[in-house]
Amino acid sequence: MHQISKQLDFESFFDSLESKLSCKWEEIFQSSKLIKVIKSGEISRTLYVIYMIETFHYTQHNARNQALVGTRKDVSAVYAKFCYSHAADEVGHEKMALHDVRSIGLNCAEKEIPEPLLETQILIAYLYWISCTGNPLQRLGYSYWAENCYKYINPVIEQLKQTLRLEASQLTFFLAHSDIDKDHFEDVKNTIRRTCRTQADMEAIIGVMETTLQLTASIFNGVYVEYENLMQGNSSKYAFLLNT
């Protein structure tokens, strides 16, 4: 029942992950109004600020839920070390998201930031859930796509930068990640090679990869709907943005 690791073909596994990711991103790019409005050069600062505040929210929890995986009794030393090291690298990244929106005029204290949208809360809750229960390796599925998303989203960020006339110093969140994540992605793959032992491990990674990318796409949609509501005067959460 438990296949031995040497029989697992990791390179085919990574190929299959890439192909799933490629399809999923394609689907997101086709259906996401947030992505479309960025690509067409029509995004407003307000919409971007809403997106970055939601990003701030979930980013705040990434180091925490990553570290929690390492504290489980059912993890190897190799995997625990990966979890803690990556957690150390992710600490405080939410502050970059906040810095970036402040650099374009958001002027509110951290405690005045509204609560996360439901879609964002769901991603946060789900990440704690899959970090604390189930196959402990499954969180690698989140890292796999998150540390490897820049080839998909760089053109979108580039367009965003032009439309909103942002300096590199105003895009610290995306640029810092796009730098760090090259090494991180290699770490993720090496950790998968060193820790996955069974088909069930691989399936758990695939499951969380697909689910967390989909929940992130749901945040894109939630952000867009919130923005539309705000423009129609129906959002109380983000109404403070209209006064700034």
Q: Does 91 bind a second copy (CB under 8 A)?
A: yes
The answer to whether 196 touches 135, Cβ cutoff 8 Å, is no
Q: Does 129 bind a second copy (CB under 8 A)?
A: yes
Q: Does 63 bind a second copy (CB under 8 A)?
A: yes
Q: Does 97 bind a second copy (CB under 8 A)?
A: no
Burial-class residue 129 by CB neighbours within 10 Å (0-12, 13-18, 19+): exposed
Q: CA dist 96 to 57, 103, 169, 189, Å?
A: 12, 10, 10, 26
Burial-class residue 169 by CB neighbours within 10 Å (0-12, 13-18, 19+): exposed
Task: Work out which of 67, 98, 101, 230 binds a second copy, going by CB under 8 A.
Answer: 67
Element holding 187 (H helix, E strand): helix 172-195
Positions in 146-185 near a second copy (CB under 8 A): none
Task: Work out which of 8, 104, 108, 122 binds a second copy, going by CB under 8 A.
Answer: 122
Task: Work out which of 46, 85, 159, 221 binds a second copy, going by CB under 8 A.
Answer: 85
Q: Does 137 bind a second copy (CB under 8 A)?
A: no
**Among residues 6 and 73, whose Cβ is nearest to a second copy?**
73
Q: How far apart are CA 12 and CA 8, in angstroms?
A: 9
Size of the site for a second copy (CB under 8 A): 28
Piece in contact with a second copy (CB under 8 A), picked from 3-11, 70-78, 98-106, 151-159:
70-78
Q: CA dist 174 to 14, 150, 158, 210, Å?
A: 24, 9, 10, 22
Identify the DSSP state of 235: -
Give the interface with a second copy as residue ranges (CB under 8 A): 63-64, 67-68, 70-71, 77, 80-81, 83-85, 87-88, 91-92, 95, 118, 121-122, 124-126, 128-130, 211, 214
